[in-house]
Amino acid sequence: MYRYDAIDRAVLADRTAEFRDQVRRRLAGELTEDQFKPLRLMNGLYLQLHAYMLRVAVPYGSLSPIQMRALADIARRFDRGYGHFTTRTNIQFNWVKLADAPDILDALAAVDLHAIQTSGNCIRNVTADPYAGAAADELEDPRVWCEAIRQWSSLHPEFSFLPRKFKIAVTASPHDRTAAKVHDIGLLLRRGRDGETGFEVIVGGGMGRTPYVGPTIRAYLPSNRLFSYLEAILRVYNRHGRRDNAYKARIKILVAALGAEAFTREVEAEWEKIGPEGDVPAAEIERIRDAFTTPDFSSDPSTGDFEARRAAEPAFARFVRNNVKAHIRPGYGIVDISLKGIGETPGDISADQMDLVADLAERFGQGDIRSTHEQNLVLPHVRLEHVYDVWKGLHAAGLATPNINLISDIIACPGLDYCALANARA
């Protein structure tokens, strides 16, 4: 996973100190709720039906065991002992006290986590294939591009007050595990005729009350021109997006109203004005790529008694059939952890379960945990000889439901118990 540097940590320290003072002023009555609202939303803090909710960013769904344990500690100390994973791979704490919010942000910053741009009309958390770096059908690891987009878009002054929230997904596999076509921008890594990598660019997808499958506005964009093209798309959206009607403010409405061809012409014209000066240098992309830790595949894995266990225990066999996927490396598997236990709220996970997942990732999963847009978790690098041990640990914690991609593996918001916009319980 990506290792934060001194600049990343300085940004988080400055932001948490700034928000601590804003909360102090709100509690002292120096700020009204109307004045405080845009400030708290910049830090992922919502005021819901019964309490404040804090949405924590999990960039492209990647977590370390240390970070997962920190989330468990926050759930115990500042919430009601659990968190809720969302469709943007973030985690929400639904019973936060305003006075505690700065301490939570400090606890997050201590493990390189934050809540920046998890709310508001800005570029939200960038999501990726949860199997990134492990999938057998992957062209290259898309997380490098997700991290570059995160750094480019974080606190970007031109795109901090868009007409509406904005969501980007990146995938590098033919099998789209990011739902890229229902994002504001979906980026699909492709190999060009010259052998170089680039992107198919999809714009204007979305769900909600007016669902759209986004059209492709560029079949192939060289990867070294990505950021100037993203800037062009966002400038066109900033210029023409509806600001008078929240229901018509998303870019999907703009693309549908203009038509894909007219929208593309606007973007291409803006892109030509920006030129290559708007692109991130190749050296910076390589710096980001080098900042990612890589799994240790140096020793040859053994399948051990994996096949014998699967043949002997029907419950384990069901788990393997539904929750274990092929890995790019022989002798390894990708283990999906369902947060959709029968009778449980989809996406919810207790603090004890978070600790258990962290322990399993540390012992058997190369210290790598992923959250998914389907509100589940993944251990992407597990030796087949250890899958049975992982299953036993998950089973004891109530996390071994073998239902990935089955009808009970549904996606749901926290619902009416929390959100003023909901009309049903999850």
Q: Which of 159, 155, 157, 127 is nearest to 143 (CA)?
A: 127
Please answer whether residues 167 and 117 qualify as being in contact, where contact means their C-beta atoms are separated by less than 8 angstroms.
Answer: no
Domain-embedded: residue 187: yes
Q: For 42-190, where are the alpha helices, taking DSSP H only?
A: 65-78, 101-109, 143-153
Q: Among 290, 317, 341, which residue terminates a domain?
A: 290
| Dihedral sign (CA 187, 84, 336, 114) | positive
Q: Among 61, 90, 109, which residue terminates a domain?
A: 109
Domain-embedded: residue 256: yes
Domain-embedded: residue 178: yes
Domain-embedded: residue 404: no
Q: What is the pLDDT along the chain (426 residues), one digit of tens a residue?
A: 899 999 999 999 999 999 999 999 999 999 999 999 999 999 999 998 889 999 999 999 999 999 999 999 999 999 999 999 999 999 999 999 999 999 999 999 999 999 999 999 999 999 999 999 999 999 999 999 999 999 999 999 999 999 999 999 999 999 999 999 999 999 999 999 999 999 999 999 999 889 999 999 999 999 999 999 999 999 999 999 999 999 999 999 999 999 999 999 999 999 999 999 999 999 999 999 999 999 999 888 887 899 999 999 999 999 999 999 999 999 999 999 999 997 888 999 999 999 999 999 999 999 999 999 999 999 999 999 999 999 999 999 999 999 999 999 999 877 777 777 777 776
Could you tell me if 105 and 175 lie in one domain? no
As beta bridge partners, residue 190 has 198
CB neighbours of residue 358 within 10 Å: 23
- Which residue range forms the structural domain that includes residue 11? 6-109
Q: Among 242, 258, 290, which residue terminates a domain?
A: 290
Number of domains the chain is built from? 3
CATH number at residue 207: 3.30.413.10
Contacts of 285 (CB under 8 A, 6+ apart): 144, 148
**Distance from C-alpha of 394 to C-alpha of 93, rounded to nearest angstrom:** 23
Could you tell me if 90 and 147 lie in one domain? no
Could you tell me if 73 and 98 lie in one domain? yes
Domain-embedded: residue 121: no
Could you tell me if 264 and 365 lie in one domain? no
Could you tell me if 148 and 240 lie in one domain? yes
Amino acid at 247: Y
